[in-house]
């Protein structure tokens, strides 16, 4: 299933795509795809024939595909070729950091370039959506705790991240730095998350052209690994790292400026499009 949330920011309604790619309104049957309610909402959606649902006309705004995200966990340097372009070694264990949940926005919302920023960068990433509480789970059982997957743009301010000292979260958490969606694609529709093509273009030029095959630590390992340090709850997001081609890795580095357009996607998970604007 392809599940989504549509409508004005902070007032999104739940929906799903039918077999023809039409948007259907689920709000009469499901309250939201959000937080603790996510597992029951997905189960309810499975019981409904999309053809019986109201058709949503036009092109409404798409919100983040998951609401009320409790934790937005990111994995750093999880593609060996991206680590190389960053001049860093592949870590012996996953690098884990957090992105503020206030950074989350819709997949096609404008992305703000922060005040004083000179190094705002792009990162297409596979997002894992947790569907069942995971605590000390084994790698063999890890995928049973996954609701599905989505596209994430882990927008990053590199000077804030690297030069301003301390944890990376400062460069990762500006408002709009976490576009999610367009859809939450349930796990049964993505049988192999380690075989997904991914790309990102800026102003029509292809910068990232990779695949989840080159992840250092795969989806099952990450869910198991992180669950040894903290419990994972329904609606939590794990953003799993990015392939090479980020702005920081260009010669010379190339960063976003107001008016740029990012277009990105992952096979089977849909695409995003964001215009950059200056933060007020």
Per-residue model confidence (pLDDT) at position 204: 98
Per-residue model confidence (pLDDT) at position 22: 97
Per-residue model confidence (pLDDT) at position 19: 94
Per-residue model confidence (pLDDT) at position 82: 72
Per-residue model confidence (pLDDT) at position 84: 74
Fold of 72-273: Fumarylacetoacetate hydrolase; domain 2 (3.90.850)
Look at the block and give the residue holding tokens 């910068």: 207
pLDDT in tens, 221-240: 999 999 999 999 999 999 99
pLDDT in tens, 167-181: 899 999 999 999 999
Per-residue model confidence (pLDDT) at position 225: 98
Q: So where are the chain's domains?
A: 2-52, 72-273
Q: Is this model's pTM higher than 0.95 or not?
A: yes
Per-residue model confidence (pLDDT) at position 167: 87
pLDDT in tens, 51-84: 999 999 999 999 999 999 999 999 998 998 777 7
User: In the chain, which stretches have pLDDT less than 70?
Assistant: none
Bridge partner residues of 31 (DSSP) = none
Q: CA-to-CA distance for 217 and 94, rounded, in angstroms?
A: 7
Give the rounded distance of the alpha carbon of 239 from its chain centre.
Answer: 6
Q: CA-to-CA distance for 263 and 271, rounded, in angstroms?
A: 7
Q: CA-to-CA distance for 100 and 279, rounded, in angstroms?
A: 17
Per-residue model confidence (pLDDT) at position 233: 98
Q: What is the DSSP letter of 12?
A: -
């Amino acid at each position: 299933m392809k599940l989504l949330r549509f409508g004005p920011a902070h007032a999104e309604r739940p929906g799903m795509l039918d077999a023809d790619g039409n948007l259907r309104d689920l709000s009469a049957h499901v309250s939201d795809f959000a937080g603790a309610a996510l597992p029951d909402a997905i189960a309810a959606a499975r019981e409904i024939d999309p053809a019986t649902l109201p058709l949503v006309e036009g092109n409404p705004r798409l919100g983040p595909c998951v609401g009320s995200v409790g934790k937005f966990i990111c994995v750093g340097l999880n593609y060996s070729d991206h680590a190389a372009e960053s001049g860093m070694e592949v870590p012996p264990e996953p690098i884990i950091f957090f992105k503020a949940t206030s950074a989350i926005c819709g997949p096609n919302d404008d992305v703000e370039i922060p005040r004083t920023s000179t190094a705002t960068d792009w990162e297409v990433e596979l997002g894992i959506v947790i569907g069942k509480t995971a605590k000390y789970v084994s790698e063999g059982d890890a995928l049973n705790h996954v609701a599905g997957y989505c596209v994430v743009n882990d927008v990053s301010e590199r000077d804030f991240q690297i030069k301003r000292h301390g944890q990376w979260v400062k460069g990762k958490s500006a408002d709009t730095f976490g576009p999610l969606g367009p859809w939450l694609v349930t796990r049964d529709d993505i049988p192999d998350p380690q075989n997904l093509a991914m790309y990102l273009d800026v102003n029509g030029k292809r910068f990232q052209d990779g695949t989840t095959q080159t992840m250092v630590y795969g989806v099952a390992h990450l869910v198991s690994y992180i669950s040894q340090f903290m419990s994972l709850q329904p609606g939590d997001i794990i953003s799993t790292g990015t392939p090479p081609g980020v702005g920081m890795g260009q010669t010379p580095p190339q960063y976003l400026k107001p008016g740029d357009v990012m277009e990105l996607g992952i096979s089977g998970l849909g695409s995003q499009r964001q215009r950059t604007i200056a933060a007020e």
